[in-house]
């Protein structure tokens, strides 16, 4: 059984979940509504991907290369801040979102991207 004991993954998950509760409760905090999801998306997605790689594929020493994380930052920025706003008027382009992706990506790199200890 896999235990979710990586506090550095639990924090972004908790923040995202708490924000969703606020949204459902119709409590709007502008900064959270604009940037929190962008800030936590890469630590959550890459963190879950790391757990899957290390536990289900049994590659305990696997970690993501910095190039891969930078690519993910670039990809999310390009997709969600450049391409999608061109085709969907409900999305807006904001360079601060790209900064949030970068902060989240480097948070993952420095705090979560560790080999699994046996």
- Taking only the tens place, the pLDDT of each residue in 20-39 is 999 999 999 999 999 999 99
pLDDT at 5: 55
- Cα dist. 106→8, 12, 90, 95 in Å? 12, 13, 28, 17
Task: List all residues 6 or more positions away from 101 whose beta carbon is below 8 Å from its beta carbon.
Answer: 38, 39, 41, 42, 73, 76, 77
Q: What does the block give as tokens for 25?
A: 């409760």
pLDDT at 1: 44
pLDDT < 70 regions, the chain? 1-5, 118
Measured distance CA(40)–CA(99) in Å, rounded:
12
């Amino acid at each position: 059984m896999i235990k979710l004991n990586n506090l550095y993954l639990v924090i972004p998950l908790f923040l995202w979940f708490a924000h969703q509760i606020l949204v459902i409760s119709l409590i709007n905090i502008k900064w959270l509504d604009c940037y929190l999801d962008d800030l936590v998306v890469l630590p959550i997605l890459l963190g879950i991907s790391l757990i899957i790689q290390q536990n289900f594929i049994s590659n305990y020493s696997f970690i993501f290369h910095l190039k891969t994380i930078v690519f993910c930052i670039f990809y999310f920025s390009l997709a969600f801040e450049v391409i999608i706003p061109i085709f969907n008027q409900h999305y807006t382009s904001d360079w601060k979102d790209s900064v949030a992706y970068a902060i989240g990506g480097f948070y993952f790199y420095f705090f979560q991207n560790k080999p699994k200890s046996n």
